[in-house]
Chains A and B, each alone.
Chain A
Amino acid sequence: MKSKIDKINIKSALTVATVALLGTSSLAQAESSSTSSVQDSSWEFDSAFLFYSEVDRVSAGEAILNAKKTFDNDEVLNLKLTIDTLTGASANGAVAQPTVQTFTRPSGNGQYDIAAGDTPLDDTFHDTRVQLNGQWTQPLAPDYTVSGGFHLSKEYDYLSLGINGNIAVDFDRKNSTFSAGFSYFQDTFTPEGGIPNPLTSMLIGNSDASTWDDSFAQTRIGSEDDKTTTDILLGFTQVINRRMLMQFNYSYSMVDGYLTDPFKILSVVNNTGKTQDYLYESRPDSRVKQSVFAQSLYHFDSSVLDVSYRYMWDDWEITSHTIDSRFRIPLGDGFGKESYIQPHLRIYQQSAADFYRPFITDDEALPAFASADYRIGEMTAITVGFKYGMLVNNGHELSFRLEYYRQTPTNAGFDEPGVLNDVELYPTVDAIIGQVTYSF
């Protein structure tokens, strides 16, 4: 059905005919542009810079660049680059004492002193980490979407490689979605100073002595170790009505391998609470974690409320509850184009691992596993903050987030003998989080 139409300029001939019909007053240009996930396959970028700082402790800066490209047929490629640096001091697990304490750095190269009454902090943590993620998502069949991706993370002493896969099924006119996903990570840890012999004494002395290196090496059982993580996630999302959406997840995670923190120790104290020795901590070589999660999003006339709850339990006897809520309030154009403010409140509570103890007493037998890391002890944490966002430059989103984070470790039922009564065994950790994001 070829015709000779393409030889004539139809457009101008029609313009002439149209003018005759409608008159010259209707002459105008047609100006238009389109946005469509079918036609437009340019890149969308999100960039963010995050700053995290604990009072007197760890500070971290992180820069993220995320690039997303949507192809024809709903295929999406997502690439993300994350760079973070960490500096500052972190608790090494020993308890404070009314006297000065000396510890050996994890590398074995040198000692550091902690003042009387202070919580022992190790400040040798400076590290830069680079992480790359790639994710490909595409429809497999009507109502079926599959996704697969990889993860790579490298820092001076740590390498993590991972893959993930996920399938999502929509039904009931896409009002319900069921999803199932798995991920697998292989991590290798090559800590400076090697892997310490668990539950053996930390060598304290003179790192410059000629015999030091040999003695230190005796406290090591290897230069590196690894662990694997397998996660399964099942999810269900349901549109309840025009204003409300709910999501439910169940996750199962298995970690096997080296789970101990080679930089953490425990103090061995006598019956007056005075430290006699420091032992490297030891954790089991496997951990199974499960969690259930429920989230609800409710759209009021203009504001949106997001509330979620998570319950986690594992075979280390840790259980935790998390309640997280955000309330997005649009501010119209008064404070910046299409701006909004979003207050945030998160409350977290966890129970201690069964092998957690703030210290070991010298009159008991050595346990199989022990750790004084407050992050697996009993604690509550609260985050309060807000996010402010607006549009700039042709519809690009700019947002600022400021949060205050307070972690309060608590006593899980341990006696505090002697001088330990006079020191702070469960110091509160306060942190400020600031973040700027820009999407373009």
Chain B
Amino acid sequence: MKNTRTVNLEKNKDSYSLKFNAMASPCEVIIQTSDEELAVKLGKLVSAEVWRIEDKYSRYDQNSLCSAINNNAGQSVVIDDETFQLLSFADQCYQLSDGLFDITSGVLRKVWSFQSQYNSKTNFPSAAQINTTLLNVGWNKINFDPKQITLAKGMEIDFGGIGKEYAVDRGIIVAKELTNQPVLVNLGGDLAVTGARLNNETWQVAIEPPDIDSDLVNGHEKTIDMIVSLKSGALATSGDSKRFLIHKGKRYGHILNAKTGWPISKAPRSITVVAPQCIQAGILATFALLQGCDAEEFLTNQEIKFWARR
């Protein structure tokens, strides 16, 4: 069931906000301008691009290219240049993470069902269930080139780990093609800016504390707000505040180790990373979480600007 695809315009003191829903997230484009016509045009342009990417790469959409690839596992499926670039990027991520990040690990969702504020049913799988499912996981089993992709039977690919961040970056590109005014594109907390605000001022971004929806863990309600001042580049947050599982009193985040099929243990509750592009920030945040207890050390060694909450 698709949400209605409308873009709502809101006027602020010195900017316009264009709000819409996409990729199961509230999305917002902010442009610092007094030109309402320009703002409306920008809203249409960016939302169209985001919905285009959603329609193409969402595994929930039966008409998407992603579903076509998944439903034809075992056969060769024709792909375009954009898809080839995305798959190449996913391939790089697989190599750089030594196999921990793997877009074929989506099938594991069939045995793990994570709690969210909408679904309190938990499904804690057995080791046997996980091992059986792991047989269908493994990027090394994929065959792709600039023209086609072939999955082994039973396998699936899931662009969930990079899709939203890619859409943010594409949103910035189309915004820059339209206007020189300062723009911020925010898709559910993953965001990027075209540059500094007018008068070389910074964009102020508030980072939600991890426990905002839950009072389960330790009863500690973090009320500290963190404000990041962003002048250029992007910011992505990876974490378990929205999807998680409680089993025998222990909390499991939804990021799975693609090699073992289990959630990563001792990972920070949330990591926010700043990088020149959103897709880079998102991957770095995910890579860090995959390191579990070594997450902060990983990011520090890479000299990446980040904030971690445990």
Contacts and interface: CB of A to CB of B under 8 A. Distances in A.
Interface of A: 1-6, 8-11, 13-15, 17-18, 20-23, 25-39, 74, 142, 174
Contacts of B130: none
Given A1-B257, A17-B89, A17-B92, 17 more contacts: A3-B98, A3-B291, A10-B284, A11-B303, A18-B89, A18-B279, A28-B277, A31-B230, A31-B233, A32-B228, A32-B229, A32-B235, A32-B305, A33-B229, A34-B229, A39-B226, A142-B221
Contacts of B277: 18, 22, 26, 28
B310 to A, nearest CB: 11
16 contacts: A1-B264, A4-B98, A5-B97, A10-B287, A11-B304, A17-B89, A20-B88, A26-B277, A30-B233, A30-B276, A31-B196, A32-B202, A32-B233, A34-B227, A38-B224, A142-B219
Interface stretch (B56-64, B113-121, B247-255, B294-302): B294-302
Contact of B173 (A25, A37, A39): A25
A29 B228 contact: no
B150 interface: no
Contacts of A17: 88-89, 92-93
A5 B85 contact: no
B163 interface: no
B169 A22 contact: yes
B224 A37 contact: yes
Contacts of A34: 226-229, 307
B237 interface: no
Nearest to A74: B224
B93 to A, nearest CB: 8
A33 B230 CA distance: 7
B232 interface: yes
A137 B290 CA distance: 37
A54 to B, nearest CB: 45
Nearest 8 Cβ contacts at the A-B interface: A30-B233, A36-B226, A31-B231, A17-B92, A34-B228, A32-B274, A3-B98, A32-B230
A14 B305 contact: no
A352 B254 CA distance: 71
B173 A26 contact: yes
A22 B226 contact: no
Interface in B126-155: none
Contacts of A35: 226-227, 229
A26 B202 CA distance: 19
Q: Is the interface of B mostly helix, strand, loop or mixed?
A: mixed
A155 to B, nearest CB: 41
A5 B98 contact: yes
B220 interface: yes
A5 B229 contact: no
A32 B193 CA distance: 11
Interface string B150-170: 000000000000000010011
Nearest to A14: B280
A185 B173 CA distance: 66
B188 interface: no
Contacts of B275: 11, 30
The listed residue with most A CB atoms (<10 A of its CB), out of B100, B166, B230, B302, is: B302
B197 interface: no
Nearest to A27: B276
A48 to B, nearest CB: 27
A120 B86 CA distance: 91
Contacts of A10: 96, 284, 287, 302
Contacts of B227: 34-36
Contacts of A14: 92-93, 96, 280, 283-284
Nearest to B166: A21
The listed residue with most A CB atoms (<10 A of its CB), out of B223, B227, B276, is: B276
B276 A29 contact: yes
B292 interface: yes
B274 A30 contact: yes
Nearest to B260: A1
Contacts of B86: 21
B259 to A, nearest CB: 9
Contacts of B232: 28-31
